[in-house]
Structure 1
Amino acid sequence: MNEVEQLTVDLVQLPLFDIHASAGLGMPVGPQVQLGALAFDRAFLRAQGADPESCSIIAASGDSMEPAIPDGALLVVDHGQTEIRHGHIMVVNVGEDLLVKRIRRRLDGLVDLISDNPAYPPETVGRDMIDQLRIVGRVVFFCRAP
């Protein structure tokens, strides 16, 4: 096996969807249109705590997760990680909105969606909305333009 063949064995093609998770006040989910795929090293994704076979790529839209995640950043999302994990950046559906936020489960059973940008206060998913909260997956890596 030559070097090029060896490299392709270790890569996984992640689907890139024309979907934007709002890093702001919320964005309705549209149809899932695949734009293409990007290759990632399986070992790299595993080192991020991801299952390479469960990942896809979407974009962030908005400034609520700045400075960590800027508007337009590509998000690698592991769809196998759907448990609420305190402090992790997750892609979530609340009602019809798709959001990217840090997530915190409170002792009273409610869930806080936290923006990194201090201009956006935390939002609490109350008991009346908790059944509409769906964890899409954990953001395991993001790419941004310099």
Structure 2
Amino acid sequence: MTATSFDAFFRRVAEATGVETQNDLARILGVNRSAITQAKQRNAIPQKWLHALARDYGYSARWLESGEGPQNPGAPAAESFDVDCLQIPKVRARLCAGGGSFEVEGQTVETQPFLSPWIHRKGSPDSMVLMDVMGNSMEPEIHEGDTVLIDQSQRDILAGGIYAVGVEDTVMVKRLEKRPGGLALLSDNPDYSPIVLRGEELETVRVIGKVIWLSREYR
């Protein structure tokens, strides 16, 4: 086996999972960002990371670690890419991380492939949709220009969850928090005050779905 290089490992993980930053890697592994930094400094990859990635994404732990052997030894030939992936629609509507977006058109503009085992573990693929984000109210978690994956079957409000939410004619991306007799729409950016809805205002709210993944293109 060839010597493990963290940088080469990260490139393979990016190829296999679509992550773009070390923060993304920390998130999918469920570890602190400092753990990624330490692994990079040691130039060593914990075996439990390899096993977790192999389990969740269907790739060979050996290939992830060293680049040797097949990427997915259990898969058929190369044409399996289309078989093992599902196309998720991206719609024209944009989520506002700010005051609200009036761009709510649900027309599909393109589709993006996701590994079928992964997307099924995350929720209901038939109810998923991709949307772009505009505004900075959810920074540093979500930036303007990010694309988020929303599962419209997940509408139950869980503490700390990020949701696409419609209020009257606008659509936003916010953390939702149940309050006595009301609902709070929270931003991660401290420059934005919470939006608290009560009484008849709650009739104007619709939870579109839970944000379960995001991607970011660096410019």
TM-score (norm: length of structure 2): 0.62
Q: Name the residue aligned to 2:135.
A: 62
Contact 1:29 1:96 in 2 (8 A): no
- Structure 2 CA distance for aligned equivalents of residues 46 and 68 of structure 1: 24
TM-score (norm: length of structure 1): 0.91
Q: Name the residue aligned to 1:110.
A: 182
Contact 1:73 1:142 in 2 (8 A): yes
Contact 1:90 1:136 in 2 (8 A): yes
Q: Name the residue aligned to 2:162.
A: 89
Where 2:78 maps in the other structure, the secondary structure is helix
- Structure 2 CA distance for aligned equivalents of residues 42 and 105 of structure 1: 33
Where 1:120 maps in the other structure, the secondary structure is coil
Tell me, which stretches of 5 or more residues in structure 2 are unaligned? 1-74
Structure of larger gyration radius:
2
Structure with bigger helix share is: 2
> What is the Cα deviation at residue 69 of structure 1?
0.5
Higher relative contact order (CA 8 A, sep 6+): 1
- Structure 1 CA distance for aligned equivalents of residues 120 and 174 of structure 2: 22
Moved over 3 A (4+): none
- Structure 2 CA distance for aligned equivalents of residues 77 and 30 of structure 1: 14
Q: Name the residue aligned to 2:191.
A: 119
- Structure 2 CA distance for aligned equivalents of residues 116 and 26 of structure 1: 15
How many aligned positions are there?
144
Q: Percent identity?
A: 28
Tell me, which stretches of 5 or more residues in structure 1 are unaligned? none
Q: CA RMSD in A?
A: 1.5
